[in-house]
Structure 1
Amino acid sequence: MTTAMGAALRRIQLGNALSAFGNGFTVPFLFVYVAQVRDLGASAAGVVLATLAVAALIVLPFTGRVIDRRGPLPVAIAGAITAAVGSLGLGLSATEPTAIVSAALVGAGFAVIQPALATMIVWSSTTQTRSRAFATQFFLNNLGLGIGGLLGGLLVDTAHPSSFVRLFSIESAMFLVLAATVATVRLPKMPKVAGSVPTDERARGGARALLRDRAMVHLCVLGFVMFFACYGQFESGLAAFATEVTRISPATLGIALAANTAAIVLAQFVVLKLVEGRRRSRVIALVGLVWTVAWLAAAVSGAVHGSHAIATAAIISTYALFGVGEAMLSPTVAPLVADLAPAPLIGQYNSAFALVKQLALALGPAVGGMLAGAGMYGAYLTMLVVCSLGITGFALRLGRHLTPAQDNPLRAVPAPVPAQRASAVEPQVAAAA
């Protein structure tokens, strides 16, 4: 990787970390803010949260094409400024309509930022360094969210709306810092992604080319199941199960969530060393098995009624195991999306995968909340164990559609020819010519 690429990547990661830090100030408190602090009620808070997801779903289908035509840098800046305006608007919103409009701006802006930053990371890395770059991004995201959430909890006071205005102002300022930082990035020329699908007729086809790419379609299906069965359950079915069946307190639930973040932060680079040089499809398959164990631990926490300590330890272990699985996915899935894409379609591939993720994050809480509301926790856990095992099966099947360079870029790199051997070969080549 060149010096210019390294400098660009450091600036991108810095902006990404600061925006995650600002986001952490508001994410845990948005529902309480709208429902209680602004006294708009739980239904209005639900609409605001839904608006975040709907806005993202609306803009993502168009984002990739704009990134590929205009470049990721102006798209990231526009998304950051839009999110900054929306965040400040949420802090000042006293009515439901203004809160909904502000949430739409935040959702749309943040949805645009994600594939734009992912494309910038691809442009600023090589096939061999891309896994580490995305692992670092995921690490900084979680670290920033964790620190921001911790500081936000110290600053917030539900009796004083001004304290929430302060939180949203900090988040808005961090989005502007992201825009300013990204604006100083000097991106290298668009790379040719080694091992990608052919770049001639597929590169001109856009969405049709993506749908003809069997490996990418398999990865999108796999991604939907992953986000549905893990991320989509944290704030709905799993939280309800932990409080209603395992019977842990909200404070202990906070500890479990902290265990998830801690597992990611502590394990990320240890896991990275373990998975680098191994087939990506096999690593993803292993994540499915880790999450299967996590859901079985959750089942144990609900079945052990005689020992609250064991039940509590089991549910905290569930969250921690999910964190380990997430740390394994960060250096595998996002780089794989990039390595599947023809160079002119990197933005569209990133946006398509972000759209699949957003759909899963919208449906996951809805299904989990519905089953939890009906008290069907046995069916709920069975569904998620099946989904986790399905991740393993889908990942192994995906491996059959990947080239060696896509599945394991480090092993696919040809070994350098020693200087003595090269000098001995050159005369033979010249004589043959």
Structure 2
Amino acid sequence: MRRIQAGNALSAFGLGFTVPYLYVYVAQVRDLGATTAGAVLAVFAMAALVALPFTGRVIDRRGPLPVLVGAALLAGAGAVSMGLAGNVPAVVLSAALLGAGTAIMQPALATMIVWTSDSTTRTRAFATQFFLQNLGLGIGGLIGGHIVDASRPGSFLLLFGIEAAMFLVLAGIALTVRLPRSLSLHELRPENAEAKARGGMRALLGHKAMVQLCVLGFVLFFACYGQFESGLAAYGTEAAGIQPSTLGTALAANTAVIVVAQFVVLRFVERRSRTRVIAAVGLIWTVAWLIAGYAGLGHGSQAMATAAFVSTYALFGLGEAMLSPTVAPLVADLAPESMVGQYNSAFALVKQLALAVGPAVGGPMGAALHGPYIVTFVLFSLGISVLALRLGKQLTPVQDKPALVSKSRVVAVHKPAEAVETPV
């Protein structure tokens, strides 16, 4: 687990070096224009949507380790080629490789974490992953910002080279991991023969709790992550008069809250109902959107508007810190033994869809329809609470509250009346 988490942190560190500057690199440094830069960002996202539907089945058949290594090598090749690319076809192909590689890593890493944890340690394991990802992205972006220079293309080649090196380090660390079979899902829970017989996607779509979790996940990512750098940023600059430099401060506040609060929040979260924690996140984000409404629609000073806008991002960070120990472990606990990779990939696909749709919807609304924009996302945040409480009715007591497992490891399957109890 320590090796997996270290590799995860280093890969996030490498991504932080380049992702914030990809648009500037393509549009200005390579002088390919804003249209090409927008196309590159779209290809980066679309590559994930194309790759993820096939990833889960490969993980379940071949195991997460070779998939992770292959994805890291693919992303490394994309990073190197992006640093060397000088024309439109080259940057588009590089974006496709980089986007596909980084997307495939997500379910592979999640499945490896599942394989090296059990129901009593999984919550903390996923919280640690989220913490290290944000820490790596934040430090990488900070250091990268001091290295990058739009007048020197060589500085970008250095950034992409460091990113590629981090992906190679991840692959190297992964190759040293020996997944402990004693903690694999084969020993932790009974084989779900019915789901296996019905087939992958058909079985997943027939699993009511997982379908509800995917719907909830889409709303979560659409209403938060999908607005960070699009709708909310447009709303802040247009309605609240926020300076572009303040957007960086707001994002830094978001990351700082996650880093500072993650393990404090974890102590509160890990012994409570997962669905009620998610419902509480919906209420916190409702308050965040109302504060954003005050920043843009209120009549206070510019300083008050700026403070309110930064506070919005900070509250989003608090909600994210509460979600990381709840949502990802719940996906793992819902998955049958033979379909862990497919469940993780399906949820990653839902996330990517939300991140693709979110900016397309939120960007124009945030820039032009200020009042309707705030009302829309207040309603979406309240919807998170409603969907979370409805999901709770589909879960077994142990799936919703893993703290019920104390001296005995109790692993519940899909029917509430069935459980397997194994002495530690």
User: Does structure 1 conserve the Cα–Cα contact (< 8 Å) formed by 2:11 and 2:166?
Assistant: yes
User: Does structure 1 conserve the Cα–Cα contact (< 8 Å) formed by 2:189 and 2:337?
Assistant: no
- 1:249 deviates by 1.1
Match among 284, 300, 310 for residue 290 of structure 1 = 284
Match among 397, 404, 407 for residue 390 of structure 2 = 397
Match among 237, 258, 261 for residue 255 of structure 2 = 261
- Secondary structure in 2 matching 1:186: coil
Gaps of 5+ in 1: 1-8, 417-433
Amino-acid identity (%): 66
User: Does structure 2 conserve the Cα–Cα contact (< 8 Å) formed by 1:76 and 1:179?
Assistant: yes
1:212-246 CA distance string (max 9 Å, x none) = 11000000000000000000000100001111111
The structure-2 alpha-carbon separation of the partners of 1:195 and 1:270, relative to structure 1 and needing over 3 Å to count, comes to: farther
Where do residues 228-377 of structure 1 align in structure 2 (5 Å cutoff)? 228-373=222-367, 375-377=368-370
Name the structure 2 match of 1:91: 83
Name the structure 1 match of 2:415: none
Of 324-333 and 404-413, deviating more is: 404-413
Match among 155, 158, 161 for residue 147 of structure 2 = 155
Distance 1:100 1:380 in 2: 32
Match among 123, 126, 145 for residue 115 of structure 2 = 123
RMSD (Å) for aligned C-alpha atoms: 1.3
Name the structure 2 match of 1:215: 209
1:22 alignment partner AA:
G
2:291 alignment partner AA:
A
Name the structure 2 match of 1:384: 377
Distance 2:389 2:405 in 1: 19
- 1:193 deviates by 7.7
Distance 1:27 1:193 in 2: 40
User: Does structure 2 conserve the Cα–Cα contact (< 8 Å) formed by 1:195 and 1:340?
Assistant: no
User: Does structure 2 conserve the Cα–Cα contact (< 8 Å) formed by 1:122 and 1:130?
Assistant: yes
1:80-103 CA distance string (max 9 Å, x none) = 000000011111111111000000
Distance 2:267 2:189 in 1: 23
The structure-2 alpha-carbon separation of the partners of 1:278 and 1:194, relative to structure 1 and needing over 3 Å to count, comes to: farther
Structure index of larger Rg:
1
Say whether residues 1:104 and 2:96 are aligned partners.
yes
Say whether residues 1:203 and 2:203 are aligned partners.
no
- 1:415 deviates by 6.4
Question: TM-score normalized by structure 1?
Answer: 0.92
1:23-72 CA distance string (max 9 Å, x none) = 10001111111111111111100000000111100010000000000000
Name the structure 2 match of 1:425: none
- 1:293 deviates by 0.4
- Secondary structure in 2 matching 1:185: coil
Where do residues 139-150 of structure 1 align in structure 2 (5 Å cutoff)? 139-150=131-142
Q: How many residues align?
A: 406
Distance 1:203 1:410 in 2: 29
Name the structure 2 match of 1:5: none
The structure-2 alpha-carbon separation of the partners of 1:35 and 1:275, relative to structure 1 and needing over 3 Å to count, comes to: same
The structure-2 alpha-carbon separation of the partners of 1:304 and 1:193, relative to structure 1 and needing over 3 Å to count, comes to: farther
User: Does structure 2 conserve the Cα–Cα contact (< 8 Å) formed by 1:40 and 1:96?
Assistant: yes
Distance 1:390 1:304 in 2: 25
User: Does structure 1 conserve the Cα–Cα contact (< 8 Å) formed by 2:47 and 2:99?
Assistant: yes
Name the structure 1 match of 2:403: 410
Match among 30, 39, 62 for residue 54 of structure 2 = 62
1:115-161 CA distance string (max 9 Å, x none) = 00000000000101000000000000000000000000000111011
Distance 1:71 1:192 in 2: 13
- Secondary structure in 2 matching 1:13: helix
- 1:372 deviates by 3.0
2:196 alignment partner AA:
A
Name the structure 2 match of 1:423: none
Say whether residues 1:35 and 2:30 are aligned partners.
no
Match among 35, 40, 44 for residue 36 of structure 2 = 44
Distance 1:68 1:224 in 2: 24
Structure 1 runs of 4+ with >2 Å offset: 192-196, 303-306, 412-416
1:335-383 CA distance string (max 9 Å, x none) = 000000011100000000000000000000110112234x111111111
Match among 153, 162, 167 for residue 175 of structure 1 = 167
Question: TM-score normalized by structure 2?
Answer: 0.94
Distance 1:362 1:200 in 2: 35
User: Does structure 1 conserve the Cα–Cα contact (< 8 Å) formed by 2:297 and 2:371?
Assistant: no
Distance 2:238 2:155 in 1: 31
- Secondary structure in 2 matching 1:128: coil
